[in-house]
Amino acid sequence: MKIRIFDRICAMTSGIYSILDKVIKLHSLNEDDILRLLKTEENNNLFSAADKVRKEHVGDEVHLRALIEFSNYCKQNCLYCGLRRDNPKITRYRLEPQEIINLAKKAADYGYKTIVLQSGEDLYYTVDKISKIISEIKNFDVAVALSIGEKSFEEYKAYRRAGTDRYLLRIETTDEALYNKLNPSMSLQNRMICLENIKKLGYEVGSGIMVGLPGQTLESIAKDILYFKSIPVDMAGIGPFIYHPDTPIKKTEENFFELALKVMAILRLLMPDINIPATTAMETLNLNGRLIALQCGANVVMPNATETAYRKHYEIYPGKICIGDSPKHCRFCIENKIKSINRCVGENRGYHRSNS
């Protein structure tokens, strides 16, 4: 009996090794193989393979993207998010265009080469307002990324014309029934059309998912990973889902940090030269989450560059890191952390290699 169990363990382990071996050589896997990696308990082998591939393909540089959270108003009602329209407990704020430009200038002066503007879907910012903000920020010799949700083709076109380099729009999950349930005023189909339009317009495409959404299966996560490969994305952010008490989602104590890390590592193996952030949500669930992620396949960090006073109100989920810190503090804190693992801060804009 003992021998049989031993044989089974050997077969399972060698199965994982053969999958890792295949993906390191071919950067391709079918859904079943991805599922086996998601289910494996040999996490360390998966993580070190992803770290090796990261080093070979994108090197030791960590690209910093300054994140400016400029408005927490949102017309959407995503069930999981603290910024959702029907959350009455949140204190809403929005920055005036000049304040956003000033913050971006400050971030550029701190050495950031990319500015990310993120918000809820806030109708206050007309196409004209956002376009003007972008063209002003482009004077600071930086790349600009937008993360402001679903827009029409014409709006995406205007922002691209104004100089935006990248657009970040997570697909969240490719499970259609789950997506439509969690995003009552939205549809998976439209989200996919938005990503197609972003691609068509020549942006660098950033997408991603949350890991641990209620009702999400490993099978659907395997499909999400293949979806990123099919686009193909230039960047993908994988964040653990974190329960927010002021949302309709049922309370969970489960911590999805490790599973999110595995998804991220598999993505690195399949898409060796894309940009993959060590996400803020990972550090919210693990004190060293971003440094761990940087050693399991990630090569980007998005430090908060919003003024301290606003940070606590951009409460997508509770316990967010850096709430009481300043843009300057975060900029140098992250650089020191990066150096502590013998990595360095990227000196250029960190475009996805195929576009640079």
Segment 187 to 216, residues that bind ligand SF4, using CB under 6 A: none
Least gap, CB of 226 to ligand SF4 (angstroms): 23
Taking the least distance from each CB to ligand FES, the nearer of 259 and 322 is: 322
For the chain, what's the residue count? 356
Of positions 37, 64, 83, 298, contacts ligand SAM by CB under 6 A: 83
Which one of ligand SF4, ligand FES, ligand SAM, none interacts with residue 322, CB within 5 to 8 A by kind? Answer: ligand FES
Instruction: Give the total of residues touching ligand SAM (CB under 6 A).
Output: 19
DSSP 210: E
Q: What is the DSSP string of 98-167?
A: HHHHHHHHHHHHTT-SEEEEEES--TTS-HHHHHHHHHHHHTTS-EEEEE-----HHHHHHHHHTT--EE
Pairwise CA distance, residues 231 & 267, whole Å: 13
Give the number of residues in contact with ligand FES, rule: CB under 6 A.
Answer: 7
In the complex with ligand FES, the residue whose CB is nearer, 212 or 346, is: 346
Report the residue number, 81 or 270, with the smaller CB distance to ligand SF4: 81
- Closer of 50 and 148 to ligand SF4 (Cβ): 148
46 binds ligand SAM (CB under 6 A): no
Cα of 182 vs its chain's centroid, Å: 19
Dihedral sign for Cα atoms in the order 80, 85, 91, 93: positive
Candidates 35-43, 77-85, 261-269, 329-337; binding stretch for ligand SF4 (CB under 6 A): 77-85
Q: Is 171 in the site for ligand SF4 (CB under 6 A)?
A: no
Element containing residue 235 per DSSP (H, E): strand 235-240
Closest separation in Å from C-beta 95 to ligand SF4:
15
Q: Please say whether the beta carbons of 209 and 263 come within 8 A.
A: yes
Rule CB under 6 A: say whether 19 interacts with ligand SF4: no
Question: For residue 300, which phi and psi values (nearest 5 degrees)?
Answer: -140, 145
> Which one of 322, 335, 338, 343 is in contact with ligand FES (CB under 6 A)?
322
- Which member of 40, 76, 135, 308 binds ligand SF4 (CB under 6 A)? 76
Helix, strand, coil: what percent of the chain each, to 5? 45, 15, 40
* CB contact at 8 A, 255 and 244: no
Cβ neighbours of residue 113 under 8 Å, at least 6 residues apart? 63, 64, 142, 143, 346, 347, 348, 349, 350
Cβ at position 46, least distance to ligand SF4 in Å: 29
Closest CA to 43 of 23, 3, 16, 4: 16
Q: Does 80 bind ligand SAM (CB under 6 A)?
A: yes
Residue 239 binding partner per list ligand FES, ligand SF4, ligand SAM, none, with a CB distance cut-off of 5 to 8 Å that depends on partner kind: ligand SAM
Residue 256 in contact with ligand SAM, rule: CB under 6 A = no
The DSSP line for 264-328 is HHHHHHHSTTSB-B--HHHHHHSTTHHHHHHTTT--EE--B-S-HHHHTT--SSTT-TTTT--HH
Residues at the interface with ligand FES (CB under 6 A)? 303, 322, 325, 329-330, 333-334
Residues at the interface with ligand SF4 (CB under 6 A)? 74, 76, 78, 81, 83-84, 120-121, 149
Residues at the interface with ligand SAM (CB under 6 A)? 80-81, 83, 118, 120-121, 147, 149, 169-170, 172, 210, 239, 241-242, 244, 281, 316-317
